């Protein structure tokens, strides 16, 4: 498949990554699903091969590569299984907060380990009573000498069990008006006094992807762990959420392409009434409809990625892509399961897992309803 923003070196990188995943991921993925966890050893192997945080500067352990390499990593991991989204979150969502807003000391302290897979990262925004309304978070961080004292709970945290470094959205000024101006980002490391993990959450899908509750009880964090400036956390989050939503859109598109491929293989092999079911006009029409949606989705997404790589303003288009492509993947998951007939409901067929994994993409990184609010606002409504 042709991507206008990729060159020969990107294709060579993709080939290398695919060979790595054929050996280190595909044969083990179903076991990881049963274990409900991707082992840390996989992260370390990814790091050893240069597949973590490729855009981080060389002085901090990365390759200083353009974001096209990150696109490839997200695409190939999604082809293995949606449960590997934690790697994309680490590479393209959490670490960029450090590379853009971190001090040189913070970069030297954390980034080399992040690129090696020795330090797994997470970001903690959502709380038990606060989802899309980030301005309403209750977790506090009160300055006490040369430390912040953090109190609160976070939930639905991707990489919550494995994480060694978590960037926590908290209120450093509870009296700020408007409320979002009191939000700051503070990095908290594994082993910090007062930081503990709650339940590893059981989800409908994404079984191998660890999602957990995080608890902060008089958690004592050095002031040196403040990311950027106090009171600018909400501003940082709103800026970085664009790339996060683009990562979600990429995964949704690739998932749709993969499910279509699964269905195509199945309908050509399955026979009914003396012939392949791919010869029935109804099924041909279903495949034609899905192929059209997927092709149009890919064209829009590739243009959007190219604009993002070139630093263009893409807030509205990212919201459109996140909303439309995740909705498309839900529809295609249902259609492809139906085309598999009774076998589509069997765990031995991959489409069953894909059907479970797809729906949550329309919820995380901002619900699709929030995406529509953003689009409508930018239409002047």
Report the alpha-carbon angle 181-183-186, nearest 5.
145
Distance of alpha carbon 258 from alpha carbon 163, whole angstroms: 29
Helix (H) / strand (E) element for 222: namely strand 211-222
Residue 226 burial by Cβ neighbours in a 10 Å radius (0-12, 13-18, 19+):
buried
What whole-number distance in Å separates Cα of residue 1 and Cα of residue 262? 17
**To 5 degrees, how large is the angle CA 197–CA 203–CA 206?**
100
244 an active-site residue? yes
From 244, 257, 307, 369, active-site residue:
244
Residue indicated by tokens 């709103």: 238
**How far apart, in whole angstroms, are the C-alpha atoms of residue 74 and residue 166?**
21
Determine contact, residues 165/176, Cβ cutoff 8 Å. Answer: no
List, in sequence order, every residue forming a beta bridge with 189; answer none if it has no partner. 165
Structure tokens at 249: 């859109």
Distance CA 14, CA 138 (A): 43
Q: Count how many residues are written for the chain.
A: 381
CA separation, residue 66 to residues 9, 16, 71, 219 (Å): 11, 17, 10, 37
Question: Of the candidates 298, 352, 293, 361, which has an alpha carbon nearest to the alpha carbon of residue 328?
Answer: 293
Q: Give the three-class secondary structure for 132.
A: coil
Helix (H, G, I), strand (E, B) or coil at 217: strand
Residue 51 CB burial class (10 angstroms; 0-12, 13-18, ≥19): buried
Going from the C-alpha of 17 to that of each of 25, 50, 110, 159, the distances in angstroms are 11, 9, 24, 22
Residue 253, token pair as written in the block: 């598109």
CB under 8 Å to 268, separation ≥6 — which residues? 276, 278
- Which residues belong to the active site? 244
């Amino acid at each position: 498949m042709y991507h206008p923003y990729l060159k020969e070196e990107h294709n060579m990188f993709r080939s290398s990554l695919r060979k790595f995943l054929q050996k280190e991921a595909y044969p083990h993925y179903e076991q990881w699903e049963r274990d409900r966890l991707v082992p840390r050893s996989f992260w370390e192997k990814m790091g050893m091969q240069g597949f973590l945080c490729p855009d981080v500067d060389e002085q901090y352990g990365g390759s200083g590569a353009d974001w096209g390499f990150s696109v490839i990593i997200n695409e190939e991991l999604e082809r293995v299984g949606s449960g590997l989204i934690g790697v994309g979150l680490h590479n393209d969502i959490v670490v960029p907060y450090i590379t853009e807003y971190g001090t040189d000391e913070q970069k030297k302290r954390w980034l080399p380990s992040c690129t090696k897979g020795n330090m797994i990262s997470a970001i903690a925004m959502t709380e038990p009573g606060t989802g899309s309304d980030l301005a309403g978070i209750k977790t506090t961080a009160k300055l006490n000498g040369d430390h912040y004292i953090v109190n609160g709970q976070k939930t639905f945290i991707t990489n919550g069990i494995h994480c060694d470094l978590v960037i926590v959205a908290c209120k450093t000024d509870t009296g700020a008006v408007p409320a979002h101006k009191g939000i700051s980002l503070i990095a908290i490391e594994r082993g910090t006094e007062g930081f503990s993990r709650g339940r590893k959450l059981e989800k409908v899908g994404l079984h191998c992807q660890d999602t957990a509750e995080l608890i902060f009880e008089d958690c004592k964090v050095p002031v040196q762990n403040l990311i950027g400036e106090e009171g600018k956390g909400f501003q940082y989050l709103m800026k970085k959420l664009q790339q996060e939503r683009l990562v979600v859109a990429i995964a949704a598109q690739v998932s749709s392409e993969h499910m279509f491929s699964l269905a195509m293989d199945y309908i050509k092999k399955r026979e009914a009434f003396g012939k392949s079911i791919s010869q029935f006009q109804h099924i041909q029409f279903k495949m034609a409809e899905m192929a059209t949606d997927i092709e149009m989705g890919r064209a829009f997404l590739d243009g959007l990625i190219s604009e993002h790589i070139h630093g263009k303003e893409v807030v509205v288009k990212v919201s459109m892509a996140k909303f439309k492509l995740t909705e498309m993947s839900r529809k295609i998951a249902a259609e492809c399961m139906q085309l598999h007939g009774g076998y589509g409901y069997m765990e031995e067929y991959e489409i069953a897992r894909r059907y479970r994994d797809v729906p949550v993409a329309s919820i995380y990184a901002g619900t699709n309803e929030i995406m529509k609010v953003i689009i409508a606002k930018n239409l002047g409504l």
